[in-house]
Structure formats: C-alpha cells, structure tokens
Amino acid sequence: MSVALGLTRPLVVRTTLVGDPGDLFAQLPETAPYAWIRHGEGLVAWGEAARVTVPPGPGRFDWARDWLSTIFGEASVDDDVRTPGSGPVAFGSFTFDPESRGSVLVVPQTILARRDGRAWLTTIGEERLDLVTPLRDPGRIRYGDGSLTAPEWEHAVARAVRRIRSGRLEKTVLARDLTATAERTIDVRLLLTRLARRYPDCYTFSCAGLIGATPELLVRRTGEMIESLVLAGTTPRGTSRADDMARGAALFASAKDRYEHTCAVESVRDALSPLCSELKIPEEPELLMLPNVQHLASPVTGRLSAGASVLDVVAAMHPTAAVGGTPTEAALDVIRELEGMDRAGYAGPVGWIDARGDGEWGIALRCAQIEGPRARLFAGCGIMGDSDPASELAEAQAKLRVMQYALEG
C-alpha cells in the first residue's frame, strides 16, 4: 500500500494505439477535463486516478518529483506505444509564488492523445464510460474589477517605474485581474474549443480549473533534448497589413522591449546552463504574431547533461524574467508590494509529465481560473524604467481579451 499517496494499491495502466479520434476536445466529458493541445495535437484527459496538493515552500518541486517517482514507480504499466505522453501521465499546475497554496498534480484515469500521425488511449484501473454531452453556452457575462481598478493599477505601474529608476531593480512584471460572472455554469470544454480554434499556435491547457492558451513554452523534454520559447516585448496587432508590419518593426527597434527581451533570455540561459551539455540561443529575437498581439520571441534548444526530468528543468527555470523580473528576488518583492493580490496559478508552470520524465510545461498566461459560473481573468506586463502606465494598461487589456473571447465567443 502507498500510504503516503493515499492509494490502496498501485496503479494499473494500459496504453494502446487507437484510430484517429478527430477533434480531441469533442471526446471530453464535461466534468473537470484536462488538456494540453497545440495545432490539434497533444493530450486530453478526464477522471482522477490520483491527486495531490503540493505543499507550498521552496522545496515544492522536489516534493512533487518524489511523489511522482513513487506513484509512477509502483505502477503496473502495459504500454504498447512507448512515446512521450504514453503510459501514466500527470497534469500539474504550480502557483506563481512558492509560498502560495494551490499547486496540484493529477494523474487522470483516462488519457486520449495524438501526435505525429499516431493516436493512443491510456486507461488506469477499470475502463469507464463517460458521457459526452453537448457544449453549453454560459450566457451573459458580467465583468467586475479584480484586486485593483484600472486607475489603481496604473498607479501601481508608476510606483514600479520609480523603483526601477531608483536602481533597485531592472524590471518587474505586474499582473492585474478581472472577475467575470456568467448566467450559467461555465463549460470548460467550450472555452478550450474556442481558444484552440482562435489561437492554434498557442498551447491550450486545462488543469484543476485553470484554463488558457499560453504562447510561452517554458520547456519541452524529449529524452535528453529540451526546447523552450522565450517571449518578452509585446505590441498589439495592427488594423491592416501595413499597420501590422509597422508595429512589428517598431517593436523590433524598441530599446525598451529589446532590453526587456534580453533580460528574459539571460534568465533562461542562467537557469539552463548548469543542466545542459549543449545550449543554443539565437543572437537576435524573431517576431511571433498571434491574433491579438505580437511578441519578440527566441527559441532555445539544449541537451541535458545528467538525465534530469522535465520537472527538474521547470524548477530551475521558474520564475523567468518574462513573468517575474530582474533581479528575481527584488522583482518578486515589488510584485508582492504593488499587485495587491495572490496570482494563484497565473504565470506559474502548467503542463504534463510522464513516467519517463518527458513532458511539456508552459507558463500559465492568457488564462482564467474557473469555478462554477465564476471566472478570474489574468494578464500581466513587463515594467521597465521608461514604461508608460497608460500604455501598459492598454497592453494588459489586449491580453485579457483572449479569455473574454473564450467566455463570450
């Protein structure tokens, strides 16, 4: 018996190849679905074979790794597929602040996946028939202020700028939240479907009520190889192709945004270098165009030197300068002082890990925490010494529109 895990017996896991399931989201039952999808490929899941709330504190990733090592190590696994994402998989969401409660790991009972022309089904324990019901619209949505009103948040930005100009730090990231209340219980599957269709280049995710479409891949581990995508520096999309190109060129030429991006890249370099025997980072960023914004982006690749799992890499990288700031501790102090809220899972790591240590984890951006008919929406902006509060507010509002679209359609 796994007393520490609260399980009466080891997990019995079976993975088999299946025919193409079509739209993965269309296979989900309504209750508490899990998902990680990009361009129609990835994993969806439901049910809970095991679940744990990860204790807060600086050792939380080590604790999570040990929990997973025990539960996966004791499992009886019949896996005909043997590829990243087959066999037992845990979905996870970690809070942004290590001292905040709410980090969770879940091993779903049923996992349906598709990647590189193959599809497979993983079941744990007795196979269940879960009823797939039609998607339900939440009805009219009413919005309200979150922790700060718009003017209060602009004031917080101005205070952060003064801290930066004083020399205390180089950059911080300030987030704001909005509340949303629907007429009816929010159907997570509807949000996932809308997000995946509108933002196919992003990673559409669902874990323990945290729903979103993040453009930022924190890390993908496939054997010894890892990949990451650094995003920092943002501008809205234009009203025409010419306007788009002009905005992109201005972003690429912006000293403020280029420096913000450099800070983010260097934080990733510092985190990954001790873990990697090889690390490749481009000298210049590229432009990533999404339906609502453009980002400066730098794809990073590397080879792990000591067989670390994807969760070990997540532990080393979080929080990146893209969502925290530079230097990290000073930036986190400013965030705690000025934001006036607990970010919960926003800007924390979200993703999945399998028994081989492979997996994909993103930064939980463009997201909302859903509970019944209520949602809490999040967005954040990198604040530098020359940041303008009104411009930062406009950028945050552009990012919030991702989840507003998911709710309203």
Q: Give me 124's structure tokens.
A: 């744990």
Check 30, 171, 360, 395 and give the catalytic one: 171
Q: How far is Cα 243 from Cα 253, in angstroms, rounded to an integer?
A: 15
Angle among Cα 346, 348, 352 to the nearest 5 degrees reads 115
Nearest to 185 by CA among 138, 123, 228: 138
Q: Give me 229's structure tokens.
A: 């995508």
Assess whether 337 carries a catalytic annotation.
no
Note the helical H segments in 306-388: 310-317, 328-338
Q: Give me 246's structure tokens.
A: 């002009």
Nearest to 112 by CA among 190, 200, 47, 192: 47
- Are 13 and 88 spatial neighbours (Cβ–Cβ below 8 Å)? yes
How many other C-beta atoms lie within 10 A of the C-beta of residue 74?
A: 14
Assess whether 256 carries a catalytic annotation.
no
Check 216, 260, 339, 392 and give the catalytic one: 216
CA-CA-CA-CA dihedral for 306, 307, 309, 314, to nearest 10 = 30
Active-site positions? 171, 216
